[in-house]
């Protein structure tokens, strides 16, 4: 797991577009403690996107891609929605599934990768919107959890169908009036984090993407737990600023307002006992490694 497998042929190096040369020279593939702090100093695995200016989803993408512990051996599965506009610009293997099928595709993919590469750690991460995860794809989402499939499901929750003009979704809050849902939502927001816990997910977090350090922590935890134990689920609030009537620069404040302890996106975390044990072991190893590195730096 390193950059060794990502080398440009020497005789054709000069004709490669600079984006690819930069990926080889300064991206963080293979770096053990890669994280959000690499943003701005290393080549990012997403450099441009076609989302709206100021879209919190683009922040979420950057933090997630910077935090994946094993990007060169990760396959992401996307679904229809705003995220599908971004995946073509991402330097991580990815598959676009049919709307709602993402967890079924990921199940097969994870199993196939385990058979094809038994000696290599391969992570599968689903990233889809709330329509794909909770409405159209709920069957596939739940069945994957029931079967204890070992991959991470990330839901970008913007509380409606954003790129089709603002229709009501299961994760929309009660009473909200959207452009294409003029009556207002009549029932409560689906409590998917609780459903995920009851369905067998070993690590479940609901939060906003206002804090990159939090995103880094939960992404790494979710991937590690999925790798060793079973399904994990992250529900990240990425408000659609256009559909809730905000300006480009107001996305961050919207997330901060929504994550207060009494609000609907207050940080929520469920960790199963085996996952707690695993995360404690990983934390201890990390601590040991950092102490050793510090000692080595001191000697130098």
Partner 1 sequence: MSDYRVLPGPEHFLPPAAASMGIRLPNPGEAHINGVIVSEEKAYEEAAKQFLMAKVPTLFPGPLVLWAWNENAAKKATAIRHLYNTLKECVQPGQKPMLIPMPDYRPKYPKINPEVEINPNHPNLTIWHNKIDCCMFIGVHCHQANLSLKIIRGGTSCYTIAMCAQAGHEDAMLSFRDASVEKIMKLADWVRKLKGTVQPRLTSAKSGASN
| DSSP state, residue 152 | E
Select the span of 84-92, 111-119, 166-174, 263-271 touching partner 1 (CB under 8 A). Answer: 84-92
Min dist. Cβ of residue 50 to partner 1 (A): 5
Residue by residue, DSSP assigns 239-251 as --TTTTT--GGGH
**Residue 46 interacts with partner 1 (CB under 8 A)?**
no
Q: Shortest approach of partner 1 to residue 21 CB, angstroms?
A: 10
Of 10 and 273, which has the nearer Cβ to partner 1? 10
- Is residue 92 within 8 Å of residue 76, measured between CB atoms? yes
Nearer to partner 1, 12 or 186 (CB): 12
Nearer to partner 1 (CB atom), residue 11 or residue 119: 11
Quote the DSSP letter at residue 181.
Answer: B
Residue 115: CA count within 13 A, CB half-sphere? 5
Spatial separation of the C-alpha atoms in residues 189 and 172, rounded to whole Å:
5
Task: Kindly indicate which of the ranges 10-18, 30-38, 166-174, 251-259 contains the residues binding partner 1, using the contact rule CB under 8 A.
Answer: 10-18
CA distance 157 to 152: 15
Distance CA 25, CA 28 (A): 9
Residue 10 interacts with partner 1 (CB under 8 A): yes or no: yes
Nearer to partner 1, 43 or 150 (CB): 43
Residue 160 pairs with which residues in a beta bridge? 168
Measured from the CB atom, is 248 or 253 closer to partner 1?
Answer: 248
Cβ 139 vs Cβ 107: under 8 Å: no
Which one of 32, 33, 50, 53 is in contact with partner 1 (CB under 8 A)?
A: 50
- Residue span 110-149 as binding mask against partner 1, x where in contact by CB under 8 A, dash where not: ----------------------------------------
Residues 223 and 76 sit within 8 Å (Cβ to Cβ):
no
Tell me which of 26, 32, 53, 88 binds partner 1, using CB under 8 A: 88
- Cα–Cα distance for residue pair 217/234, rounded to 1 Å: 12
Q: Which is nearer to partner 1, 89 or 142 (CB)?
A: 89
Binding footprint of partner 1 on the chain (CB under 8 A):
5-12, 15-17, 20, 50, 85, 88-89
């Amino acid at each position: 797991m390193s950059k060794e497998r990502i080398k440009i042929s020497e005789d054709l190096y000069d004709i490669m577009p600079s984006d690819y040369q930069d990926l080889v020279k300064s991206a963080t593939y293979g770096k053990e403690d890669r994280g959000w702090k690499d943003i701005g100093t290393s080549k990012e695995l997403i450099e441009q996107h076609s989302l709206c200016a100021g879209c919190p989803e683009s922040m979420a993408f950057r933090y997630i891609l910077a935090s994946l512990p094993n990007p060169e051996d990760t396959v992401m599965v996307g679904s229809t929605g705003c995220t599908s506009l971004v995946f073509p610009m991402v330097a991580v293997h990815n598959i676009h599934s049919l709307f709602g099928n993402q967890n079924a595709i990921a199940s097969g993919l994870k199993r196939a990768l385990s058979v094809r590469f038994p000696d290599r750690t391969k992570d599968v991460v689903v990233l889809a919107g709330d329509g794909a995860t909770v409405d159209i794809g709920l069957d596939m989402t739940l069945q994957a959890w029931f079967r204890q499939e070992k991959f991470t499901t990330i839901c970008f929750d913007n509380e409606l169908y954003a790129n089709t003009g603002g229709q009501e979704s299961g994760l929309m809050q009660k009473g909200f009036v959207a452009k294409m849902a003029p009556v207002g939502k009549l029932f409560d927001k689906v409590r998917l984090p609780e459903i995920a816990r009851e369905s067998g997910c070993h690590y479940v977090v609901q939060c906003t993407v206002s804090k990159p350090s939090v995103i880094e922590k939960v992404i790494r935890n979710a991937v590690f737990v999925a790798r060793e134990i079973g399904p994990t689920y992250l529900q990240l609030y990425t408000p659609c600023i256009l559909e809730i009537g905000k300006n480009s620069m107001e996305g961050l404040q919207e997330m901060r307002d929504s994550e207060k302890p009494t609000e609907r996106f207050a940080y929520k975390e469920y960790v199963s006992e085996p996952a707690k044990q695993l995360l404690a072991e990983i934390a201890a190893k990390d601590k040991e490694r950092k102490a050793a590195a510090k000692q080595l730096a001191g000697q130098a």
